[in-house]
Amino acid sequence: MEWSLRELRCFVTAAEAGTLTGAAFELHVSQAAVSRGIAALERSLGRRVLHRGRHGCEPTAFGEALLPQARRILAQVSQLDSLARAEHGQLTIGYAWAALGAHTTALQRGWAEAHPETELRLIRHNSPTSGLAEGRCEAAIMRIAPDPARFASAVVGLERRFAAFSSDDSRWARRRSLHMREFAGRTVVADPRTGTTNRALWDGGPAPERFIESEDIEDWLNSLAAGVGVGATSEASAVHHARAGVTFRPIVDAPRIPVRIVWWRSDPPDAIASLIEAVTRLYAER
């Protein structure tokens, strides 16, 4: 059998995303590249691994049996990559949507001064684990709880929730702040894979009329600017993704968002304790 890690990663990502388009966004390649990778894997194995249809894709029976083994292989490769990076004095931190908001630059500058032996690198990767499961980083900034069986995590701070909407929105354009009940009857645009916005936020109260899934931050911002819907997001998004035509305003009665540092439970980076301490201090000083 002649198959590559790239082909295996295409299969796993498509199986988890449920669509080839979603896999392409997460892997930062074209949909055609994902399709070719999966087709090449199937030729190598001599078996179909995915059922494709107009509405997405799902593993075949063989694909379901292959999936846990494929994940294990990719995780082991991730650990090898982490070891190699650690040997070269680099700590890579992934994030899917926004890094640490106003604290990002302070962390980078403070880290360079306190830990000159370890380069700190931030990368954006649109996946539920901010690139951690894909081997893109050794630690991740996440605002959703990770799988506790695979990952360890520490809450380093809390962030306010902000509403995001078109700057000429007929209801909210003149508002300085909003309440959760004011989303009632509105269309909310959200990324359910990486974000913190879902129907459960409005349990027990007036709720949005419907939800639309966005593919990534650019798709989300485009939808908001065009008035397709409104959003609810972390305070960090307002810092990292300020954009003409999109307004951010605090939601005064919304629950705060826990910000987590996450890492592989079986392979903690050497500098993880120092990273947690540095980020926790930044949030506490605010």
Flag whether pLDDT at 84 surpasses 70. Answer: no
Q: Output phi, psi for 75, to 5 deg.
A: -65, -40
Flag whether pLDDT at 1 surpasses 90. Answer: no
Flag whether pLDDT at 101 surpasses 60. Answer: yes
In this prediction, residue 216 carries a pLDDT of 85
Q: Output phi, psi for 142, to 5 deg.
A: -135, 150
Q: Alpha carbon of 118 to those of 261, 266, 271, 276: distances in Å? A: 18, 21, 8, 15
Q: What is the pLDDT of residues 28-69, one digit of tens each?
A: 888 899 999 999 999 999 999 999 887 789 999 999 999 999
**Arithmetic mean of pLDDT over the chain:** 91
Tell me the mean pLDDT in the region 67-75: 89
122 near 95, Cβ under 8 Å? yes
Residues 6+ apart with CB under 8 A from 271: 91, 115, 118
Helix or strand (DSSP H, E) at 59:
strand 56-59
Residue 83 confidence class, pLDDT cut points 50, 70, 90? low
Flag whether pLDDT at 192 surpasses 80. Answer: yes
212 near 171, Cβ under 8 Å? no
| Percentage of residues in the chain having pLDDT higher than 90 | 69
Domains and CATH numbers, the chain: 5-78 (1.10.10.10), 89-154+259-285 (3.40.190.10), 161-255 (3.40.190.10)
| Percentage of residues in the chain having pLDDT higher than 70 | 97
Tell me the pTM.
Answer: 0.72
Q: How many other CB atoms sit within 10 Å of the CB of residue 235?
A: 19
In this prediction, residue 3 carries a pLDDT of 83
Q: What is the pLDDT of residues 57-66, one digit of tens each?
A: 999 999 999 9
State the sign of the Cα–Cα–Cα–Cα dihedral 263, 268, 274, 277. Answer: positive
Residues 6+ apart with CB under 8 A from 172: 163, 165, 178, 182, 230, 247, 249
Place of tokens 């194995």: 45
In this prediction, residue 85 carries a pLDDT of 60
* Amino acid (1-letter code) at residue 6: R
What is the Cα Rg of the chain in Å? 20
In this prediction, residue 72 carries a pLDDT of 87
Q: What is the pLDDT of residues 136-159, one digit of tens each?
A: 899 999 999 999 999 999 999 999
Flag whether pLDDT at 87 surpasses 60. Answer: no
Residue 270 confidence class, pLDDT cut points 50, 70, 90? confident
Residue 106 vs residue 72, higher pLDDT: 106
In this prediction, residue 127 carries a pLDDT of 87
The neighbouring-strand residues paired with 162 are 233, 250
Per-residue three-class SS string for 53-67: ECCEEEECHHHHHHH
